[in-house]
Amino acid sequence: MLTPDVVQTIATIAFCLEPLGEKPGCTTRTVDVEGKPLTDFLIAGISVGPVVRQFVELVVRDEQAPVFCKYVDALRASTRFKSPKIISMGLLEIMFPVIHARLRCEDRAQVVDAVIAVMRRESVEDAALMAEARSIAWATSGKIEKQMFSGADFIGVKSPWEFYKRMHALPGGPESSYQWAEEYFNGLPILRQMVAALEGVADAATMVQVTAEVHRAVIADRPQVKVGMVADMCAAGLFLHLSFILDAK
């Protein structure tokens, strides 16, 4: 049963397994990208676990609770015991709707569609929380287009899906934002690929290997894709896979 404790544990495992595999352009077990050491990824993943647990408690009680109600709390928690640079924004932005969808969907074949449905759900509060999270996270970025982000362009946006449509249309925005939006508009293909590739895998070492293989395959197929986004989708896929195999025990 996917209790708050179980979901916290599964999410933490997924957060910690994903960066271990050898993936070009990413921090791995043997390579630290400048300013993003492996220790920071592991510390951030462990630190947000209690916030994930709080999120599960909320949405189990109230299905209408905002999907991103704990997003900002998780971002802030992610910097405890590490550098103040926020490295988990994209990961958390996919993980909260993934967790929400998984709590409502028992079908592995349908769960990614459930994630998209969650993001299409009307919620002005969710869109405002997505803007607030960007303002916080991107203030620590070294990229000027991210530091200049203003939530003013997103006032009154009616859903997370509409938020991505607005980000996609915003001139001069970060390329990563366009790619994230298109990933949703295209049906979350990386997440689907990851969930499919992991089917039948039972041990953690092989999960790490498969994660790296999927990451390399996506990069080979789409050379311009942001490697960080691919990593975040892989982590979400790990969570979904773990949730199905552990929930079956």
Summarised one tens digit per residue, pLDDT across range 31-46 is 999 989 999 999 999 9
Question: Which string of DSSP letters, residue by residue, matches 162-192?
Answer: HHHHHHHH-TT--HHHHHHHHHHHTT-HHHH
Instruction: Give the CATH fold of the 4-247 domain.
Output: Triphosphoribosyl-dephospho-CoA protein (1.10.4200)
Q: Using alpha carbons, select from 162, 189, 179, 186 the residue that is nearest to residue 225.
A: 179
pLDDT at 105 over 80: yes
Q: For 243, how many CA atoms within 13 A lie in the half-sphere containing its CB?
A: 29
Domain ranges of the chain: 4-247
pLDDT digit string (tens) for 59-83? 999 988 999 999 999 999 999 999 9
Instruction: Indicate left, alpha or beta for 200 from its phi (over 0: left) and psi (-120 to 50: alpha).
Output: left
Average pLDDT for the chain: 94
The count of other CB atoms within 10 Å of the CB of residue 37 is 17
**Does 172 have pLDDT greater than 80?**
no
Contact 27, 38 (CB under 8 A): yes
Give pTM, 2 decimals. Answer: 0.95
The whole-number pLDDT of residue 247 equals 62
Q: How confident is the model at residue 171 (pLDDT cuts 50, 70, 90)?
A: confident
Task: Report the SS3 class of residue 145.
Answer: helix
